[in-house]
Amino acid sequence: MSLEPKQDRSRATRARLLESTVHCVASRGWSASTVSVIAADAGISRGALQHHFPTREELVAAALEHMFDERRLMVEAMAPPQLTGAERVHAVVATLVELYMGDLFRAALQAWVAAAADPQMLETIQPLERRFARSVHAAAVEHLGVDDDDPHARTLIQTTLDLARGLALADLLSDDSKRRRRIVRTWSQMLAAELGASDQEADSHGSH
């Protein structure tokens, strides 16, 4: 008898547990996301959860890695914009801002708050966050077509990512989408001017 179906079920259950952990942490907070709460959200017994993750610490460590890996995969899946000039810059900034929305960001934020008071958890999170930060910075550099060795360009990229995080925080308490769109458009215009993208677009129009 093949072990594949059993292994597939085991992998599916593990994946469901990690997704449920992210959902619970994002919606309930870190401390309220107990083993019992996560098991109930995943639709399995506490005993079945502990078969995969004998302790809450093991579940937390796996969930954190899953959380940051999923966020990193979202970054890597960014499609290069088919636009030029200022509109290309706007498309990239809008996409970067969207990367910080949703359950994965909310769960990561809850994890950071908890880690601030838990040195062991902080030690787990820091390399994961650094890996994510490197990937999102690299994506921004690639899609904006800037020279990452230029200190001014690097500062502009870091400012853009700080802005994205700030807008995501503002969205936690209420729907901030209208104001967010206005800020993204304004910053994109300023960024395009700093990067010389506005001039590129004008040259492009002038050449037709």
Residues 52-83 have pLDDT tens digits of 999 888 888 898 888 888 888 888 888 888 88
Report percent pLDDT > 70 for the chain: 93
The secondary element (H helix, E strand) that includes residue 199 is helix 197-206
Residue type, 110: Q
For residue 71, the Cα-to-chain-centroid distance in whole angstroms is 4
Q: How far apart are CA 80 and CA 95, in angstroms?
A: 10
> Considering the entire predicted model, what is its pTM?
0.79
Number of domains in the chain: 1
Report the C-alpha dihedral over residues 66, 71, 77, 79, rounded to 10 degrees: 170
Q: How far apart are CA 33 and CA 47, in angstroms?
A: 16
Hey, is 197 helix, strand or coil?
helix
Range of the domain at 93: 4-206
CA-based nearest residue to 170, from 75, 113, 94, 106: 106
**Tokens matching residue 168:** 């995501």
The pLDDT assigned to 77 comes to 87
Buried b (16+ CB within 10 A) or exposed e, 196-208: ebbebbeeeeeee
CATH value at residue 132: 1.10.357.10
Q: What pLDDT digit, counting tens, does each position of 95-144 carry? A: 999 988 888 888 888 888 888 998 988 888 899 889 889 999 999 999 99
Indicate if the pLDDT at residue 175 is higher than 70: yes
